[in-house]
Structure 1
Amino acid sequence: MSEENPFPPMRVELGRPNIARVYDWYLGGSTNWAIDRRFGQRVLRETPLVRAMAMSNRRFLHRVVRRLSKLGIDQFVDVGAGVPSPGNTHAIADEVDPGSRVVYIDHEPVAVAHLRMLLEEHGDLERHAVLQADLRDPGGLWKQVVGSGVLDPTRPIALLFLAVLHIRQEGPDGTDLTPQALHHYRELLPAGSYLAISHATDDGIGEPTREGVTKVKQMYDDWASKLTWRSKEETAALFGDFELLDPGMTWTSLWHPEDDAPSSPKVDFTDPSDSGCWAGVGRKT
């Protein structure tokens, strides 16, 4: 652990559920262990909507990448990308622009290893990269992104934080580092760049879904990773002075459904708030 990076590298943890591997299981992936599946099954018994929430967030990723690609963005940094699941960022970007460039970031070594295997088999190592870094260290993370040589840091970049910021990002003293980290990331992005965020919440959700997400949070806090729910206003604050694209802050299920594709996950909610995640995309002017 250096003075520049106060956060030690994460070791492979197989004795407790891992949030990235559990999420992969929700999405129907295979990069997970029995302990992750058992935990996911307990979560779904309490709140069956969680799998649909994960699918809705995945669909939001697809919509964001397609829309920004059509707006001319050809560089993406996916922070907290997790283990490979169907419909990864580079695959969606390549559908629109075969010359697009993507850097994946994760802190979990199993996720990083599997993402590298995916890119070696199905990617282009000149246009795609995987880095192990900690989002709580914006300067160190961005130094690695630039050092990869995949992206041009002087041109607009889409920075994605999807379903990751509600995993509590604590400093050595236990404080929540997310707001100050996002402030630093916004400063690092060149003009014309975009910031995309989806964030789990208990704000604006009707019963019984609200009761369900409260139980889910307690289960994750006890057995996997501590979570932090943010309100619509608190999530919007993470964009700072970036200009939000229409429709502004909304539920993942409502953000530009016209950008779905036949390959997008299929999920329907009785109420849009059942998606359980605020979502938005902002532009740096």
Structure 2
Amino acid sequence: MTDDQETALDWMSASEEDGQEPTDLRPDVPHPARMYDYYLGGKDNFPADRAAAEKVMAISPRVRLSAQANRAYLQRAVRYLAEQGVKQFLDIGTGIPTAGNTHEIAQQVHPDARVAYLDNDPIVLVHSRALLAGASHGSATVVQADLRDPAGILAEPRVHELLDLGQPVALLLFAILHFVDDESDPYGIVRTLVDALPSGSYLALSHGTADFISPAQAGRGPAVYCAATERLTLRSREQVSRFFDGLELVEPGIVTAPLWRPERPEQEDDAFTGIWAAVGRKP
């Protein structure tokens, strides 16, 4: 049996044990979550995912570094938010779990921190449910929901069972909004979610950008994702800044992911990493 077949069986077994319907993995179709897992050096991906990811990296060699920088930023941002006293996290578009997940970081600071993971991807859900069914994970849950339906997210009973939306919440949108095209009104989606949260809440996000590559590269990268299950819409720093309208940006503002409160010396390419990152506080 190949490693890929074992991975598929692991996913389907986790789904059945969790009481869910078996997941259609569609291993022949590139999947953004599995491609991202490959960028991070994970094993939860198939040949189609690896081939598509390699095409993207051939166009933009910094993609793997960008993915790693995004993951490190997520962990620093969650730790920062927890240190500000936030104990509730609404993490939408979580991706396939890997080391240093939101609940693990937040609960290092506050053992009673509560995390609601939301994703519309059955593959991600299978992985996340298997993770939370294992070792002790404190207060965390996984809910199937789509970022494009913010009203549905806000009405989801399981979110309200875990989180008190009358108290400050950290809304986490890491590397997800670039999979929401302009026609789906990403700014309206974020505004709806932020408007539903009280003063003292935070928005933390990261977003892919083409600001540091040529126009030719900028067109070729998203074209690879057109053959995948989700399309890619890269946005400029100015476009990303619109997500924070009405919020107070936390220092250092909107910067590339490695430069958001780094825990290591700055490196030469940090300022050109293709992921914008920022955290804003709702006054």
User: Aligning the two structures, in what range does the TM-score lie when normalised by the shorter sequence?
Assistant: 0.7 to 0.9
Alpha carbons of 1:123 and 1:116: their partners in 2 closer, same or farther (altered >3 Å)? Answer: farther
| TM-score of the superposed pair, with normalisation by structure 2 | 0.85
**3-state SS of paired residue (2:99):** coil
Which residue of structure 2 lines up, in the alignment, with residue 248 of structure 1?
A: 253
- What do residues 57-95 of structure 1 show as CA deviations (whole Å, max 9, x unaligned)? 001101101111111011111110011122111111122
Please point out which of 72, 83, 107 is paired with 2:85. 72
Say whether 1:137 aligns with 2:149: yes
Say whether 1:273 aligns with 2:271: yes
Say whether 1:113 aligns with 2:113: no
* Deviation (angstroms), 1:123: 4.0
Tell me the C-alpha RMSD between the 2 structures.
2.2
Name which structure has the greater RCO, CA cutoff 8 Å, separation 6+: 1
**3-state SS of paired residue (2:280):** strand
- For residues 283 and 273 of structure 1, the distance between their equivalents in structure 2, rounded to whole angstroms, comes to 24
Say whether 1:179 aligns with 2:187: yes
* Deviation (angstroms), 1:269: 5.0
- For residues 85 and 28 of structure 1, the distance between their equivalents in structure 2, rounded to whole angstroms, comes to 10
Say whether 1:156 aligns with 2:168: yes
**3-state SS of paired residue (2:57):** helix
Supply the AA of the counterpart residue of 1:276: G
Q: Which runs of 5+ in 2 are unaligned?
A: 1-22
Map 1:74-93; keep pairs closer than 5 Å. 74-93=87-106
Map 1:213-228; keep pairs closer than 5 Å. 213-228=218-233
**3-state SS of paired residue (1:121):** coil
- For residues 158 and 46 of structure 1, the distance between their equivalents in structure 2, rounded to whole angstroms, comes to 34
- For residues 114 and 77 of structure 1, the distance between their equivalents in structure 2, rounded to whole angstroms, comes to 18
Is the contact made by 1:206 and 1:273 (CA closer than 8 Å) also made in structure 2? no
- For residues 31 and 277 of structure 1, the distance between their equivalents in structure 2, rounded to whole angstroms, comes to 23
Is the contact made by 1:129 and 1:148 (CA closer than 8 Å) also made in structure 2? no
* Deviation (angstroms), 1:168: 2.7
Supply the AA of the counterpart residue of 2:145: A
- What do residues 157-176 of structure 1 show as CA deviations (whole Å, max 9, x unaligned)? 00010111011347xxxx23
Is the contact made by 2:95 and 2:124 (CA closer than 8 Å) also made in structure 1? yes
Please point out which of 221, 233, 237 is paired with 1:232. 237
Which residue of structure 1 lines up, in the alignment, with residue 107 of structure 2?
A: 94
Which residue of structure 2 lines up, in the alignment, with residue 263 of structure 1?
A: none
The number of residues matched between the two structures is 261
Moved over 3 A (4+): 10-15, 145-148, 210-214
Say whether 1:202 aligns with 2:210: yes
Q: Which runs of 5+ in 1 are unaligned?
A: 1-9, 261-266
- For residues 100 and 88 of structure 1, the distance between their equivalents in structure 2, rounded to whole angstroms, comes to 13
Is the contact made by 2:88 and 2:163 (CA closer than 8 Å) also made in structure 1? yes
Is the contact made by 2:209 and 2:236 (CA closer than 8 Å) also made in structure 1? yes
Is the contact made by 1:78 and 1:105 (CA closer than 8 Å) also made in structure 2? yes
Say whether 1:55 aligns with 2:49: no
- For residues 202 and 63 of structure 2, the distance between their equivalents in structure 1, rounded to whole angstroms, comes to 28
**3-state SS of paired residue (2:277):** strand
- For residues 179 and 195 of structure 2, the distance between their equivalents in structure 1, rounded to whole angstroms, comes to 22
Supply the AA of the counterpart residue of 2:235: R
Q: Quick one: percent identity of the two aligned structures?
A: 38
| TM-score of the superposed pair, with normalisation by structure 1 | 0.84
* Deviation (angstroms), 1:218: 2.2
- For residues 27 and 121 of structure 2, the distance between their equivalents in structure 1, rounded to whole angstroms, comes to 12
Higher helix share: 2
Is the contact made by 1:254 and 1:272 (CA closer than 8 Å) also made in structure 2? yes
